[in-house]
Amino acid sequence: MNDQNPTKHRNESTPELPTTARLTRIRKTAVDFGWPAALQAVAHGAASRLVFFRVLKCIQVSEVDPRYLAIDPRFQHGFLDEASLRRLGEDPRYDLSPQFLDAALAKGDQCYGILDGDRLASFGWYSAVPTQISDDLRFCFDRRHVYMYKGFTDPAYRGQRLHALGMTSALQRFLDRGAAGLVSYVDATNFDSLRSCYRMGYTDVGQIYYLRAGGHYWIHADAGCRKLGVSLEALPDAAA
């Protein structure tokens, strides 16, 4: 759950990792998460070299962990208003372009931020409606939930668990409004991000499998995802 897009299409301009680098990554995954996880990553990588193929692990959290409600008083935190977002968007490190802000704010999305004075230390975006996650895919979910996306922590503030603190505070506010909880997704082989999410209290919902071949998408959401209304939708021009 970071600001990288796991649905970004791979193309011939994307360099392949050298063999030694791939082997190093496989060994590291095996050491950190076990050989089943390493073999899963290898299988997904091999499939992706034949066709555009991804597996997304969908996750949810519906209970507040009180350990993550105590934010250092030197930080200010809360939902950011449009004027603040427009001002912060002038700094390219936050990747909050005018086009992104126009689209997100138009559909009512909100950004929960943690600030150190005028500096934005960490933030996450939240949406109550289906949200486009790439040029040709939309993430859909049960409207009782809120979709958490585009999480970011300034490198100077990493290691302080600000993302978990901000997300938990936002979750508390959405629960107070009557939401059932937060829902999100992580690439199934991004084991570091998954470990971080589980630490924050997220639990598995299910998996979405999708591939693109011949200009068309094949998308399958498993039973756990369907139960929660979680799915991917190819946009009308996806085959263009």
Q: Which of 100-109, 130-139, 190-199 has the lowest mean pLDDT?
A: 190-199
How buried is 213 (Cβ within 10 angstroms: 0-12 exposed, 13-18 middle, 19+ buried)?
exposed
Cβ count near 161 (within 10 Å): 19
Token output for 160: 């302080």
pLDDT recorded at residue 19: 61
List Cα–Cα distances, 114 to 61, 73, 151, 175, in angstroms: 20, 11, 12, 19
- pLDDT tens digit string along 48-95? 444 678 999 999 999 999 999 999 999 999 999 999 999 999 999 999
State the pTM of this model: 0.78
Pick the CATH number of 19-234 from 3.30.1490.20, 3.40.630.30, 3.50.50.60, 3.40.50.720: 3.40.630.30
Token output for 94: 């936050």
CA distance 216 to 52: 11
Supply the DSSP symbol for 12: T
Say if residue 38's pLDDT is above 60.
no
Element (H, E) at 31: helix 19-33
Say if residue 15's pLDDT is above 60.
no
Domain boundaries, the chain: 19-234
Token output for 3: 């600001």
One-letter amino acid of 55? V
Say if residue 227's pLDDT is above 90.
yes
CA distance 202 to 19: 34
